[in-house]
């Protein structure tokens, strides 16, 4: 029955996308056979008023009709241009995470259930919602500590949102499995794995304790950074369904007129934003991955305050070195070194030729050097780079794609503040300092120290490794003598799972087909 419900929800979502003109806005002229027939039918069923909207507006209206989980799905897919294509990813990135507020009484009930205390014990005052998104909404409140009153922001999870997401995730998994089974060309994109990543990301975002931990970590990383900070967390009033943090008084970064009226230096703010983002990425390997202007405030002294850290990105040391050497290689026009870094990091399979890959890198880099520095986009450069690496079988790297998406957004905000923004000149101090510290003599000493620690840890594990190696050797000998065998229980479980999977897929297709026939009958 769960599969039947998921199929009905999936059919409804498809119908909404058709009616709002999202499907008809896709490039279908190059299709053939059944897909092109389906695209033409979608054009017939599109609402007439939807034809007047651009593709991005059609998508936004469809997502609003489908509900909050589809807003989150769209924002997640915006980080995966390898799955949905660059044009669609850009449209999805523009989706606004703004929803209707829910009643204050429900917010109070969620807070009291999460923290186990009455609202009057937690806050001196608790006001109405000031903002609402797909997963939570924010209230203004006041706390009193040692006789001193402080204004705070209280983020509360939407009632029932977890159940709604769970049901919609069933539909996403059904669609992914059907896609893998019946569209072989899509298997390289691993739709089921993509859906699993979405499920895990959403689970993390729906536990506000984890967002509080991310704010705390980023706050510690940036406590000595000039001109950037995040709000402090009130841990006493924070739980799974509620996050209480410092109230931020400032001008939102999407209010350009307000920033200018407050006397802020827009060029300085743009430079500070980019340098802060690169500093977090290269130095700490932990960055705010949703830095759109609605999540950024500028205080009276020019300090940037970032809020809403539900989505965060991490880069390991190898990925940070990869990024820094790429940027430095493009600056110095050392395309062979850029290519070698890809092979050293294991991103491009060894069967490819390094020189041929360097030639492809040169095709990206050379046009850049003939342009004024202020017209060169670092985000666009990374986008082109990832497009080229696909030709050389570079596997999808989710952490690099999230970085690329965030850099596109941050650079776009900076250029909104300063149309003549010079990305390379602004980034040079941060990138140069990181390269000097990590790729120069100082970096060699750090690598040697880390290597010594790793060797010491390995030596301590030597006795255990020897025992495990001996056990593995015996098991391999037994396998070579008797072959690999499943016990009766395992074989029976595999057979049942395969039968259930086949029945579920067929049942889902019948439900979708019958639903579409019913819709067509109602229309005609």
What whole-number distance in Å separates Cα of residue 307 and Cα of residue 248?
A: 9
Buried b (16+ CB within 10 A) or exposed e, 326-344: bbbbbbeebbbbbbbbbbe
What whole-number distance in Å separates Cα of residue 357 and Cα of residue 437?
A: 28
| Cα-based angle 78, 83, 89 (whole degrees, multiple of 5) | 25
Rounded (10°) CA dihedral 195, 196, 198, 202:
140
What whole-number distance in Å separates Cα of residue 112 and Cα of residue 248?
A: 24
In sequence order, the 6+-apart residues with CB closer than 8 A to the CB of 512 are 7, 10, 11, 14
Give the up-direction half-sphere exposure of residue 371: CA atoms within 13 A in the CB hemisphere: 15
Distance of CA 482 to the CA centre of its chain: 47
Helices (H) and strands (E) in the chain, counts: 22, 10
Task: Verify whether residue 447 is a known catalytic residue.
Answer: no
228-229 vs 304-306, strand pairing mode:
parallel
Check residue 27 and give left, alpha or beta (phi > 0: left; psi -120 to 50: alpha): beta
Residue 278 · residue 427 · CB < 8 Å: yes
What whole-number distance in Å separates Cα of residue 254 and Cα of residue 48?
A: 33
In sequence order, the 6+-apart residues with CB closer than 8 A to the CB of 43 are 24
Residue 297 · residue 251 · CB < 8 Å: yes
What whole-number distance in Å separates Cα of residue 93 and Cα of residue 228?
A: 24
Catalytic, out of 97, 168, 234, 290:
290
What whole-number distance in Å separates Cα of residue 148 and Cα of residue 64?
A: 42
What whole-number distance in Å separates Cα of residue 281 and Cα of residue 341?
A: 18
Beta strands (DSSP E) in 105-258 are 125-132, 136-145, 148-157, 228-229, 242-246, 251-252
Distance of CA 39 to the CA centre of its chain: 29
Report the catalytic residues.
290
């Amino acid at each position: 029955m769960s599969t039947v419900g998921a199929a009905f929800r999936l059919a409804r979502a498809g119908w909404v996308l058709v009616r709002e003109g999202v499907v008809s806005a896709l490039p279908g002229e190059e299709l053939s056979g059944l897909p092109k027939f389906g695209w033409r039918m979608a054009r017939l069923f599109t609402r007439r008023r939807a034809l007047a909207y651009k593709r991005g507006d059609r998508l936004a209206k469809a997502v609003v009709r489908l509900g909050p989980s589809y807003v989150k799905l769209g924002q997640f897919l915006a980080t995966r241009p390898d799955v949905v294509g660059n044009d669609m990813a850009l449209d999805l990135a523009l989706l606004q995470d703004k929803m209707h507020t829910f009643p204050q009484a429900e917010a109070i009930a969620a807070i009291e259930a999460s923290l186990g205390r009455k609202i009057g014990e937690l806050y001196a005052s608790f006001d109405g919602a000031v903002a609402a998104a797909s997963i939570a909404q924010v209230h203004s409140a006041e706390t009193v500590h040692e006789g001193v009153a402080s204004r705070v922001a209280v983020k509360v999870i939407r009632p029932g949102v977890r159940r709604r997401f769970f049901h919609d995730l069933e539909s996403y998994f059904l669609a992914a499995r059907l896609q893998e089974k019946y569209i072989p060309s899509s298997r390289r994109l691993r739709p089921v794995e993509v859906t699993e990543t979405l499920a895990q990301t959403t689970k993390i975002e729906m536990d506000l304790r984890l967002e509080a931990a991310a704010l705390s970590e980023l706050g510690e990383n940036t406590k000595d950074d000039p001109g950037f900070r995040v709000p402090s967390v009130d841990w006493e009033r924070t739980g799974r369904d509620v996050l209480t943090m410092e109230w931020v008084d400032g001008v939102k970064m999407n209010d350009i007129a307000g920033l200018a009226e407050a006397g802020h230096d827009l060029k300085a703010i743009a430079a500070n934003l980019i340098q802060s983002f690169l500093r977090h990425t290269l130095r700490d390997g932990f960055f705010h991955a949703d830095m759109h202007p609605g999540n950024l405030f500028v205080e009276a002294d020019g300090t940037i305050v970032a809020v809403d850290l539900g989505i965060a990105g991490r880069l390991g040391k190898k990925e940070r070195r990869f990024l820094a050497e790429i940027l430095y290689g493009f600056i110095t026009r050392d395309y062979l070194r850029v290519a070698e870094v890809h092979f050293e990091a294991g991103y491009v399979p060894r069967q490819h030729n390094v020189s041929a890959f360097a030639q492809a890198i040169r095709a990206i880099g050379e046009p850049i050097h003939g342009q004024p520095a202020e017209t060169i986009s670092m985000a666009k450069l990374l986008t082109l780079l990832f497009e080229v690496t696909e030709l050389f079988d570079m596997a999808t790297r989710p952490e690099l794609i999230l970085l690329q998406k965030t850099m596109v957004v941050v650079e776009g905000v900076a250029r909104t503040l300063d149309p003549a923004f010079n990305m390379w000149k602004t980034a040079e101090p941060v990138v140069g300092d990181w390269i000097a510290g990590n790729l120069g003599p100082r970096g060699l000493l750090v690598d040697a120290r880390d290597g010594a620690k790793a060797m010491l840890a390995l030596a301590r594990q030597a006795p255990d490794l020897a025992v495990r190696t001996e056990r593995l050797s015996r098991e391999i000998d037994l396998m070579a003598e008797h072959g690999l065998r499943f016990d009766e229980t395992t074989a029976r479980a595999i057979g049942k799972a395969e039968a259930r999977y086949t029945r579920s897929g067929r049942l889902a297709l019948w439900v979708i087909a019958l639903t579409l026939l019913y819709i067509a009958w109602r229309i005609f």
